[in-house]
Amino acid sequence: MRISVITAVYNNRDVVAEALESVLAQDHPDVELIVIDGNSRDGTLEVLQAYAGSINVLVSEPDRGIYDALNKGLRLARGEVVGFLHSDDLFADAAVLSRVAAAFADPAVCAVYGDLQYVRKGDTGRVVRHWKSAPFRARLLARGWMPPHPTLYVRREWYERIGGFDTRYRIAADYFSILQLFSQPGFKAVYLPQVLVKMRVGGASNRSLANIVRKSHEDLDALRRSGVGGVGALAWKNLGKLGQFFRRG
C-alpha cells in the first residue's frame, strides 16, 4: 500500500529538515513524500533542494494559504492513503506508517488516526499537551469530538468525494473536512491508541487572540454547515481540551 505524506511549508528553514527526516526514517516500504512550499524566502527552498533525491514531488510557488497548499498536494498524490505532516511536526517513531498501513489492510476501513502530543518548539522531548483520542462513534461529533488531524490518514478517494479542503476557511478547513468525512454513512475509522505524531506548539489556530476568536467563528460555521451541531457542540469541543494539559501520556 502506497501512503502519500504531504508536507506544506512556508519560511520554516530551521525545522523542516527534521520533518523530512522523520518521514524518510519510516520503515513502511512504500511512502510517497510530497512537499508544497509557498515560495519561501528564508532559505527553506535551499533546505528542500538538498533532499531532492528523496522527495517524490516538490512544488515551490505562491499559494493562498495552507489549505490551498494541501489541496495542491492532494491533487498530486498517487497513494491509496493520504496524510499530512506539517513542517513543524514529527512522527513519534519509525513504525507509525507501518501501523497505519496494517489497519488499512481491512478494505472497509476509510480512515485511521491515533494520539497526538504537543511539544515545546525548542525541545521536542518536552510534552506540553497530550491529546488522547478515542474510538469513533457518530454521536460524538455533536459533542465537539474530532480526531487529531495531524494523526489522521484517509483513503484518497474520500478526499476526492468531498473536494479536498474548503479554502473559504483560514483555520478550520481541516475540522470541516473531518465533519464532512466522519458524518458520512458507512464511514469506518480505526483508532490506534498510540502517539503517532509530535506537534510543536505555536500553530496558526492559537498564535493570537484574534486567531482564537476567528477559529471559534469558523468552527461554529463548520458545525452548522455540516449539520452536526451548533454552539453547544462548540462549547464541548473547547472544554474537552482542558484535560490535555494535565495528561502526559
CATH value at residue 38: 3.90.550.10
Residue 87 has pLDDT above 70, yes or no: yes
Q: Which residues of 208-227 are buried (b: 16+ CB within 10 A; e: fewer)?
A: eeeeeebbbebbbbbbeebe
Grid cell for residue 119: 511539544
Instruction: Specify the number of domains making up the chain.
Output: 1
Strands 111-119 and 189-200: parallel
Q: What is the DSSP letter of 76?
A: H
Q: Whole-model pTM?
A: 0.91
* Residue-number span of the structural domain to which 120 is assigned: 3-246
- Cβ neighbours, 10 Å, residue 232: 12
Q: Cell 480526531, residue?
A: 147
How far is it, in rounded angstroms, from Cα 40 to Cα 132? 34
Q: Cα–Cα distance between 65 and 172 in angstroms, integer?
A: 12
Specify the pLDDT at position 239: 64
Among 240, 212, 5, which residue's Cα sits nearest to residue 145? 240
Per residue in 56-69, pLDDT (tens digit) is 999 999 999 999 99
220 versus 35: the higher-pLDDT residue is 35
pLDDT at 207: 54
Distance separating alpha carbons of residues 229 and 11, to the nearest angstrom: 37
